[in-house]
């Protein structure tokens, strides 16, 4: 662990899923990319520090207290390392966790030792994020480290004690070995009472633990030695996916997890008179069951503000549905509980769903534990016995859709106290689409006038709605102008408008127009025009890599359909238009065509990418596909005046 990272059994209610966190990594990168491709720089090339020792000893007692001691020795290599370790922070839970820091030492290259008094650590509350308003009893002990230079060694040791387990007579935990930095030695030692049932899974390495019978205890020891720096890749999996780690649990079945959670929600899901009357009111005018479901969904998504209260077991236990309704706020588990409770009043079976979002490794169906979930959504049972999923915490997501980070995940549906393992869908490229229609005109002098009409759906729709709802009018205009300038640098915005920014039933629509002088290249009677195309992927960064170790992850499948009508002055004729391009492979498809009708060149493009996860073996196909798009965007039409 490169910094103190206290195992805290993060409640899944602590995760806020707003579209702000969907940052669609490539969807908003409308830039001119017609330039020579350079070699991509490896993310974080050159280590800033080296882990000399990462030693963790975790002990589960007979009464299921969790005692964990951590000893870290880290060598600073350069200025980045000095900045990275300028302070140490130890998070802990105020009510259910005790923290003790034994010592902090800084050993200078000349041998001098700076001893830092642990009593000087300051206790502060965790920083508040207005985008994710979560109130909790989480505290931080923090201290600045003085005198760090290149070659300094930081040596510290601390202990935490989790006093009471969240699941009675059970434990569940995990350990990550050494972070991304190069590693000399990392050891994880787990001591549990002899005879206690446990199950574990290893990720990123094959070393099996040494198992020692020590009196009344069983001791498991995992070790890693002399590991090189782990380097993430551009648009690849995050740290928690590529750092070797293990998960261990004493929970015997998912049924136990479901039963535990169902008990937490008992007596909290029955609507009172006011909530029941409100359900009747908002569904009275709806004719079909589907219309009623949508009406309830829109109410919870739009009117129940996200605010999380994470105090001890309340990090797992939802609030009473009547309190949520009265106060008009709640976190993800509150949203899911209220939504499913309201649906049951109209005769629809709906259940809470525990889900790990794509920010963390997926749930392993073979290792039952609530530890792997950081979010909660809702499952609606269909007549066929299958489920559809809904996430009301994203107030910009249309019913029937799912935010990208909810897609393709193993989940646990809590259905009548029983656990049902399922998988959320991964939507097709057609679901996450941008449809562009542009009317452009080039003048005799090379000037350009463009009118654009764009319809967004799926992930793009969510992102645009989020920007619309969180951005002042002036910033909206500036954003459009910035996009336009990335297509045509000397352009001036001449008009813009938005439609359905606050709607959850109609697609987000964007209209704008712009003009630019001296856009096309003019040489005597010849005009050379490159179509003012918008691109929504940073294709150059992706195709610059020769090969990949990890999967390429856009996080969602997507498509773009474009039609551009480019008119040119009378008495000009087309001398050259590019050839038709049509490619289809494992990464997706790309098709472009040009045609001429009267005084207009018509360009059509369809770009579809299976971008949820492109495996390394399919990266060559992705390069071929993306390079075809780059070349097409850079091509020009040549017009000649007779």
Structure confidence at residue 138 (pLDDT):
73
Per-residue pLDDT of 448-464, as tens digits, reads 899 999 999 999 999 99
pLDDT over 70 percentage in the chain = 87
Domain identity same for 536 and 586: yes
Per-residue pLDDT of 90-102, as tens digits, reads 988 877 889 999 9
SS3 sequence, 266-277?
A: CCCCCCCHHHHH
Task: Find how far residue 629's CA is from the centre of its chain.
Answer: 26
Is there a domain that residue 530 lies in?
A: yes
Q: What is the domain range of residue 549?
A: 433-641
The DSSP result for 252-301, as a single string, is: --HHHHHHHHHHHHTTSS---HHHHHHHHHHHTT--SHHHHHHHHHHHHH
Domain identity same for 98 and 227: yes
Higher pLDDT, 18 or 351: 351
Task: Identify the three-state secondary structure at position 243.
Answer: coil
Is there a domain that residue 50 lies in?
A: yes
Is there a domain that residue 14 lies in?
A: no
Least confident of 1-15, 408-422, 617-631: 1-15
Structure confidence at residue 25 (pLDDT):
31
Per-residue pLDDT of 458-505, as tens digits, reads 999 999 999 888 888 888 888 888 888 877 888 899 999 999 998 998
CATH number of the domain at 139, please: 2.60.40.3140
pLDDT over 90 percentage in the chain = 59
Least confident of 387-401, 520-534, 577-591: 520-534
In this predicted structure, the answer to whether residue 525 has a pLDDT above a threshold of 80 is: no
Domain identity same for 417 and 526: no
Per-residue pLDDT of 375-395, as tens digits, reads 999 999 987 778 999 999 989
Structure confidence at residue 50 (pLDDT):
95
Domain C-terminal end among 203, 233, 255: 255
Is there a domain that residue 16 lies in?
A: no
The DSSP result for 509-560, as a single string, is: EEEEEEEESS-SEEETTEEEEE------S-HHHHHT-S--SS-B--SS-EEE
Higher pLDDT, 641 or 632: 632
Domain identity same for 379 and 491: no
Domain identity same for 364 and 466: no
Domain identity same for 490 and 565: yes
Pairwise CA distance, residues 163 & 166, whole Å:
10
The conformational region for residue 117 under phi > 0 = left, psi -120 to 50 = alpha, else beta, is: beta
Is there a domain that residue 552 lies in?
A: yes
Domain identity same for 88 and 233: yes
Whether residue 180 contacts residue 230, with contact meaning beta carbons closer than 8 Å, is answered with yes
Task: Give the confidence band of 12 by pLDDT, cuts at 50, 70, 90.
Answer: very low
Is there a domain that residue 32 lies in?
A: no
Q: What value does the mean pLDDT take over residues 557-561?
A: 94
Structure confidence at residue 1 (pLDDT):
34
Domain identity same for 85 and 130: yes
Q: What value does the mean pLDDT take over residues 517-526?
A: 71
Whether residue 173 contacts residue 248, with contact meaning beta carbons closer than 8 Å, is answered with yes
Task: Find how far residue 281's CA is from the centre of its chain.
Answer: 36
Q: ∠169-172-175 over CA atoms, to 5°?
A: 150
Q: What value does the mean pLDDT take over residues 81-86?
A: 93
Least confident of 120-124, 320-324, 377-381, 539-543: 539-543
Structure confidence at residue 137 (pLDDT):
62
CATH number of the domain at 361, please: 3.10.620.30
Task: Identify the three-state secondary structure at position 104.
Answer: strand
Whether residue 200 contacts residue 248, with contact meaning beta carbons closer than 8 Å, is answered with yes
Tokens of 129: 């994020």
Tell me which residue has tokens 């006038």. 449
Domain identity same for 276 and 371: yes
Structure confidence at residue 16 (pLDDT):
28
Domain identity same for 478 and 526: yes
In this predicted structure, the answer to whether residue 128 has a pLDDT above a threshold of 70 is: no
Whether residue 57 contacts residue 214, with contact meaning beta carbons closer than 8 Å, is answered with no
Task: Give the confidence band of 532 by pLDDT, cuts at 50, 70, 90.
Answer: low
Name the pTM for this structure. Answer: 0.87
Domain C-terminal end among 237, 255, 273: 255
Q: What value does the mean pLDDT take over residues 166-173?
A: 91
Per-residue pLDDT of 232-254, as tens digits, reads 998 899 999 999 999 999 999 99
Domain identity same for 447 and 411: no
Q: Look at residues 523, 19, 16 and name the one whose alpha carbon lies nearest to residue 308.
A: 16
Domain C-terminal end among 371, 403, 423: 423
| Residue 350, beta-bridge partner list | 380
Sequence-distant contacts of 253-256: CB under 8 A, at least 24 apart: 253/368, 253/419, 254/365, 254/368, 254/412, 254/419, 254/421, 255/418, 255/419, 256/167, 256/170, 256/368
Is there a domain that residue 163 lies in?
A: yes
State the average pLDDT for the chain.
85
Q: How many domains does the chain have?
A: 3
Q: What value does the mean pLDDT take over residues 345-362?
A: 92
Sign, CA torsion 215/217/218/224: negative
Task: Identify the three-state secondary structure at position 244.
Answer: coil
Q: What is the DSSP letter of 78?
A: S
CATH number of the domain at 572, please: 2.60.120.1130
Is there a domain that residue 67 lies in?
A: yes
> Please, what is the end-to-end C-alpha distance for the chain in angstroms?
72
CB atoms within 10 A of CB 155: 16
Domain identity same for 518 and 480: yes
């Amino acid at each position: 662990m490169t910094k103190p990272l206290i195992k805290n059994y993060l409640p899944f209610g602590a995760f806020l899923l707003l579209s702000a966190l969907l940052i669609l990594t490539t969807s908003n990168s409308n830039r001119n990319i017609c330039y020579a491709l350079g070699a991509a720089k490896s993310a974080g090339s050159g280590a800033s520090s080296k882990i000399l020792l990462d030693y963790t000893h975790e002990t589960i007692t007979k009464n299921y207290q969790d005692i964990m001691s951590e000893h870290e020795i880290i060598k600073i290599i350069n200025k980045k390392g000095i900045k990275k370790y300028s302070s140490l922070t130890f998070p802990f839970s105020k009510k259910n966790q005790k923290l003790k820091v034994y010592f902090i030492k800084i050993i200078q290259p000349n041998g001098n030792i700076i001893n830092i008094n642990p009593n000087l650590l300051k206790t502060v509350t965790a920083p508040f994020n207005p985008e994710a308003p979560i109130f909790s009893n989480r505290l931080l002990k923090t201290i600045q480290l003085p005198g760090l230079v290149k070659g300094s060694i930081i040596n510290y040791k601390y202990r935490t004690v989790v006093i009471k387990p969240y699941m009675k007579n059970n434990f569940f935990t995990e350990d990550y070995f050494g972070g991304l930095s190069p590693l000399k030695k990392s050891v994880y030692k787990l001591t549990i009472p002899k005879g206690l049932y446990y199950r574990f899974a290893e990720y990123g390495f094959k070393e099996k633990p040494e198992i020692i019978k020590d009196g009344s205890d069983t001791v498991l020891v995992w070790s890693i030695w002399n590991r090189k720096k782990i380097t993430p890749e551009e648009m690849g999996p995050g740290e928690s996916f590529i750092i070797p780690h293990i998960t261990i649990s004493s929970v015997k079945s998912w049924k136990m997890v479901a039963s535990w959670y169902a008990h937490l929600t008992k007596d909290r899901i029955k609507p009172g008179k006011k909530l029941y009357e409100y359900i009747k009111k908002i569904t009275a005018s709806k004719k079909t069951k589907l219309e009623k479901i949508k009406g309830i969904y829109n109410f919870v998504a739009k009117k129940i503000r996200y605010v999380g209260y994470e105090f001890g077991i309340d990090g797992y236990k939802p609030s009473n549905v009547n309190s949520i309704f009265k106060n008009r706020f709640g976190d993800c588990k509150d949203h899911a509980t209220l939504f499913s409770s309201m649906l049951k009043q109209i005769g629809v079976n709906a259940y809470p769903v525990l889900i790990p979002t794509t920010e963390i490794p997926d749930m392993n169906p073979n290792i039952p534990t609530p530890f792997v979930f950081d979010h909660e959504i809702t499952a609606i049972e269909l007549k066929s016995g299958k489920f559809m999923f809904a996430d009301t915490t994203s107030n910009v997501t249309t019913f029937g859709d799912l935010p990208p980070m909810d897609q393709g995940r193993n989940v646990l549906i809590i259905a009548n106290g029983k656990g049902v393992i399922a998988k959320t869908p991964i939507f097709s490229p057609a679901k996450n689409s941008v449809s562009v229609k542009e009317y452009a005109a080039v003048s005799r002098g090379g000037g350009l006038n463009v009118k654009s009409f764009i319809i967004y759906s799926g992930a793009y729709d969510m992102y645009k709605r989020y920007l619309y709802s969180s951005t002042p009018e002036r910033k909206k205009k500036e954003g459009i102008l910035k996009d336009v300038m990335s297509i045509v640098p000397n352009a001036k915005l001449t008009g813009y408008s938005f439609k359905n920014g606050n709607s959850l039933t109609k697609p987000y629509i964007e209209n704008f127009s712009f003009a630019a002088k001296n856009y096309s290249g003019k040489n005597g009677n010849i005009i050379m025009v490159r179509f003012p195309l918008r691109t929504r992927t940073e294709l150059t960064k992706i195709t610059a890599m020769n090969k990949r170790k990890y999967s390429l992850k856009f996080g969602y499948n997507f498509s773009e359909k474009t039609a551009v009508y480019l008119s040119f002055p009378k008495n000009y004729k087309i001398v050259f238009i590019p050839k038709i391009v049509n490619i289809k492979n494992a990464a997706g498809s790309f098709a472009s065509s040009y045609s001429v009708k009267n005084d207009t060149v018509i360009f059509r493009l369809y770009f579809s990418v299976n971008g949820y996860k492109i495996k390394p073996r399919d990266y060559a196909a992705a390069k071929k596909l993306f390079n075809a798009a780059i070349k097409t965007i850079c091509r020009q039409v040549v017009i000649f005046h007779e």
